[in-house]
Amino acid sequence: MAFTLQIGESAPQFTNLPGVDGKDYSLADFADANILIVVFSCNHCPYVVGSEDRMNALYADYKPRGVAMIAINSNETDNHPTDSFEHMVVRAKEKGFQFPYVRDESQEVATAYGALRTPHFYVFDIKRKLRYTGRMDDDPRQPGKQTTHELRDALDALLDGREPRVPVTNPIGCNVKWQGKDAHWMPPEACDLV
């Protein structure tokens, strides 16, 4: 069985994830959205840092079209203290996140989705079936250097009633930092998606 959620599979449930805005979030909170983006993110990864302004712009562009987004930080904090909830609050304020940014302390949500890297994007349709997974574009670390836009392409296709031309890409970023494991450890069944 694949580690990462496969195209067509349903979004795994999550409940009561604490957000930097003081609210707790569950999958059900996004029931009204035509499309839901779940992105596994963090504070310290340079690939995330390089993507944050693009994430803000993407959300601003697509929210009026019925697209919701939630960013989930599942990284362990013993060896990565800057990924703590307190630091998340500061980071979200600094960057002006308008989408929920939540903490998955148990790492159960990252495991359920099969998050490989930060950032790792999952796009679900109105029935919460996975329609795209992978990267935002081909250069998350250096804003303005990207030459592809797979996440936007997938959103545009779905909003137009079409299948994404490229439904799966490999996420580009730091691996998720798993509790009690070496910083570069990944589950043995985790592998590139394509």
pLDDT at 77 exceeding the cut of 60: yes
Mean pLDDT of 171-180: 94
Q: From the CB of residue 34, how many other CB atoms can be counted at a distance below 10 Å?
A: 13
Element (H, E) at 5: none
* C-alpha to C-alpha distance for 85 and 91, rounded to whole angstroms: 10
| CA 177 vs CA 26, 112, 181, 187: distances in Å | 23, 15, 8, 11
- What does the pLDDT look like over 124-134, one tens digit per residue? 999 999 999 99
**How much of the chain, in percent, has pLDDT values that exceed 70?**
99
Q: pLDDT tens across 91-114, in order?
A: 999 999 999 999 999 999 999 999
Q: Domains in the chain, start-ordered, CATH in brackets?
A: 17-175 (3.40.30.10)
| Average pLDDT of the residues in 137-150 | 96
Choose among 131, 135, 140: nearest CA to 116: 135
Strand 101-103 and strand 67-73: pairing? parallel
Closest C-alpha to 117, from 54, 56, 38, 41: 41
Mean pLDDT of the 57-81 span: 97
